[in-house]
């Protein structure tokens, strides 16, 4: 758009972040931690950091991302540690590569804690404004972001802008045949598409949903299976040790029944999903209960997880029965579940359709290819989940701050972080459905454990100024303890060999090593994993080295793939759309074969680029 008529008089910001959910707060905090003058704009300050769906953090692969956000200096880990009411380490019967922390939050305390934390962050201004458009100007080098326009035609100027609008872009809510505009129940949708469309940025349409919430006092938990938390919880932030500060509560598991199945089958014609009202694509790995019934007809029962939403409320989140069925059908579904026969629904479930930006339009830094200085993060990139949003947010915030300083971006590799896998998957392959992270998506998952996220990422964050002195001092103390433990074992070959035996316990094998057991518990736990799985870790590290040549072989950003006749037509189209940075990234694009990569390698040799 052209220059606003009434720009605000204040000096430009280095970074403006639009949206204050889990992506937006992490982006704004990261940029401010790096010393950049940052503005966080949200339509409603009272919903900053709101847990609009499941009041939990972590889970399979998501727990690793949450710990990576913390290792990069982010707030999510400290927030859930301060507000968690039920902690569990998942997959403890399996190897360390797939173990992951998860915690239920007191959802109101979580949002309040995060709001206070954001308000206290130096270099960060928080303001309630409804952003109407993005201010983009045509520079000789191409479209460049200049700021944002808010209500009344006023503008805020900035060197960079990060959009994190979640499900609010053209959002439509569905409850049975009822429809309303909004990004969440009771909250208006966002526009923001005029300038972006003019710049050539395209959109797609997705759908997500939420289950009903019930009054916990109306439930009979005696017929459910209890799910207690861990007696010694694994916390999320590498800065925190010891027990969580809040009282801990119990969760439960029950199951749907044949009666549930019948209620849904009788009423499918009233579902927005199956009556043609909704045609957007929903999450494959978190389907609605009506989707489960239709797609898995032979499975006549499904798990239902009963999860309290806080210490000062009886409201319970019913995980596993997300639905947009009419209210009377939801009543029947809920009361068909054992323990829910007298359940009182406090809030009905609903579905939300929203626009997203297909992420192949992004650089690996999360800057858009079409508009310089404009970054996208969170659900608008086609992902689902607080953790995926936070991971993108902290990376986008860091890179927006680096761009404002004229520095190169921080790009995390697939061998460095689950967050790197997430972003590489998005920008390389795009997504046709809401993307959720799983450990199976990471080919180097033994290297990307939740327990070593700080060892992998905190030095990188420190190098770009995203980690403060207190966190760096804590990291260095842990790093030094680990190195001392490694040296102690390597100086004793018999002890080292014993630690590589199946089931070896460090506290038993190392009991005779002077001073070893005086190291902090977190150091000993990480050292035990390193020593027990050393052979597997070394093999995976060797795999990384073998692939590093392809990852480090850069492709020219202006390479005209249409002129490479040896490439198949599909490969030419896909490569031109994604514009990969390296041969390694090119090989991960759907539709690009190993033969196509060989063609690119030969072309680079002809150019003398190798």
**Residues 6+ away with beta carbon under 8 Å from 576:** 561, 562
Mean pLDDT of 407-423: 97
Torsion on CA atoms 573, 579, 583, 588, rounded to nearest 10: -70
* Residues 315-327 pLDDT 10s: 999 999 999 999 9
Mean pLDDT of the chain: 93
**Residues 6+ away with beta carbon under 8 Å from 328:** none
Task: Specify the pLDDT at position 8.
Answer: 58
With cut-offs at 50, 70 and 90, classify the pLDDT of residue 235: very high
What percent of the chain is modeled with pLDDT above 90?
A: 79
Containing 459, the helix (H) or strand (E) segment is helix 453-463
The yes-or-no verdict on residue 9 having pLDDT over 90 is no
Report DSSP state, residue 372.
Answer: B
Alpha carbon distance 417, 450 (integer Å): 10
Report if pTM > 0.75: yes
Burial pattern 46-85, b for ≥16 Cβ within 10 A else e, equals ebbbbbbbbbbbbbbbbbbbbbbbbbbbbbbbbbbbbbbb
Are 524 and 517 in contact by the 8 Å Cβ rule? The answer is yes
- Residue 561 backbone phi and psi in degrees, to 5: -65, -25
Q: Which of 23-27, 496-500, 537-541, 544-548 has the highest mean pLDDT?
A: 23-27
Are 200 and 136 in contact by the 8 Å Cβ rule? The answer is no
* Residues 131-183 pLDDT 10s: 999 999 988 888 999 999 998 889 999 999 999 998 888 889 999 989 888 87
The pair of three-digit structure tokens given for residue 569, joined into one six-digit string: 């037509």
Task: Specify the pLDDT at position 609.
Answer: 65
Are 130 and 20 in contact by the 8 Å Cβ rule? The answer is no
The yes-or-no verdict on residue 6 having pLDDT over 60 is no
- When mean pLDDT is compared across 142-151, 192-201, 359-368, 409-418, the lowest value belongs to 192-201
- When mean pLDDT is compared across 184-198, 244-258, 555-569, the lowest value belongs to 184-198
The pair of three-digit structure tokens given for residue 36, joined into one six-digit string: 């950049």
Task: Specify the pLDDT at position 189.
Answer: 79
What percent of the chain is modeled with pLDDT above 70?
A: 98
* Residues 549-578 pLDDT 10s: 888 889 998 899 999 989 989 999 999 989
Mean pLDDT of 499-505: 90
The yes-or-no verdict on residue 77 having pLDDT over 70 is yes
**Residues 6+ away with beta carbon under 8 Å from 520:** 241, 478, 481
Task: Specify the pLDDT at position 205.
Answer: 93
Mean pLDDT of 54-75: 97
């Amino acid at each position: 758009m052209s220059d606003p008529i009434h720009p605000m008089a204040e000096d430009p910001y280095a970074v403006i972040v639009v949206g204050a959910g889990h992506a937006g707060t992490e982006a704004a905090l990261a940029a401010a931690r790096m010393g950049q003058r940052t503005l966080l704009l949200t339509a409603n300050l009272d919903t900053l950091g709101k847990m609009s769906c499941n009041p939990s953090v972590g889970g399979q692969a998501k727990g690793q991302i949450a710990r990576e956000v913390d290792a990069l200096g982010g707030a999510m880990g400290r927030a859930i540690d301060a507000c968690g009411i039920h902690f569990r380490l998942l997959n403890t019967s399996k190897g360390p590569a797939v173990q992951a922390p998860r915690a239920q939050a007191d959802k109101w305390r979580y949002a309040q804690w995060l709001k206070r934390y954001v308000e206290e962050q130096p270099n960060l201004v928080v303001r309630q404004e409804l952003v109407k458009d993005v201010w983009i100007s045509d520079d000789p080098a191409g479209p460049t972001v200049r700021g944002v326009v808010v209500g009344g035609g006023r503008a805020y100027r900035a060197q960079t802008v990060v959009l994190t609008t979640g499900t609010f872009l053209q959002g439509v809510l569905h409850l049975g045949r009822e429809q309303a505009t909004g990004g969440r129940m009771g909250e208006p949708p966002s526009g923001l598409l005029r300038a972006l469309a003019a710049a050539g940025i395209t959109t797609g349409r997705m759908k997500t949903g939420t289950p009903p919430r019930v009054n916990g006092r109306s439930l009979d938990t005696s017929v459910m299976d209890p799910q207690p938390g861990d007696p010694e919880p694994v916390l999320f932030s590498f800065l925190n040790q010891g027990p969580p500060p809040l009282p801990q509560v119990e969760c439960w598991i029950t199951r749907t029944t044949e009666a549930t199945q019948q209620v849904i089958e009788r009423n499918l014609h009233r579902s927005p999903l199956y009556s043609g009202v909704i045609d957007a694509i929903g999450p494959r790995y978190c389907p609605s209960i009506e989707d489960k019934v239709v797609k898995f007809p032979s499975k006549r029962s499904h798990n239902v997880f009963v999860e309290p939403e806080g210490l000062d409320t009886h409201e319970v989140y019913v995980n596993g029965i997300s639905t947009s069925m009419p209210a009377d059908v939801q009543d029947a579904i809920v009361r068909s579940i054992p323990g829910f026969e007298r359940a009182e629904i406090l809030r009905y479930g609903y579905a939300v359709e929203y626009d997203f930006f297909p992420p192949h339009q992004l650089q690996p830094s999360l800057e858009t290819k079409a508009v310089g200085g404009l970054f996208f993060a969170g659900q608008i990139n086609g992902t689902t989940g607080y953790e995926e949003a936070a991971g993108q947010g902290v990376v986008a915030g860091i890179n927006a701050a680096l761009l404002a300083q004229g520095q190169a971006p921080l790009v995390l590799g697939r061998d460095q972080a689950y967050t790197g896998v997430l972003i590489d998957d998005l920008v390389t392959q795009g997504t046709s459905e809401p993307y959720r992270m799983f450990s199976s998506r990471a080919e180097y998952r033994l290297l990307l454990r939740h327990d070593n996220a700080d060892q992998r990422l905190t030095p990188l964050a420190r190098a770009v100024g995203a980690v403060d002195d207190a966190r760096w001092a804590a990291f260095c103390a842990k790093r030094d303890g680990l190195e001392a433990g490694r040296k102690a074992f390597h100086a004793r070959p018999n002890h080292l060999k014993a630690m590589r035996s199946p089931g070896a316990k460090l506290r038993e094998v190392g009991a005779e090593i002077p001073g070893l057991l005086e190291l902090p518990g977190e150091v000993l736990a990480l050292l035990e994993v390193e020593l027990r799985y050393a052979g597997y870790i070394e093999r995976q590290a060797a795999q990384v080295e073998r692939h590093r040549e392809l990852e480090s072989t850069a492709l020219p950003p202006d390479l005209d793939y249409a002129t490479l006749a040896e490439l198949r037509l599909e490969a030419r189209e896909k490569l031109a759309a994604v514009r990969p940075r390296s041969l390694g990234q090119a090989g991960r694009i759907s539709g690009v074969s190993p033969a196509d990569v060989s063609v690119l390698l030969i072309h680079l040799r002809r150019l003398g680029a190798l």
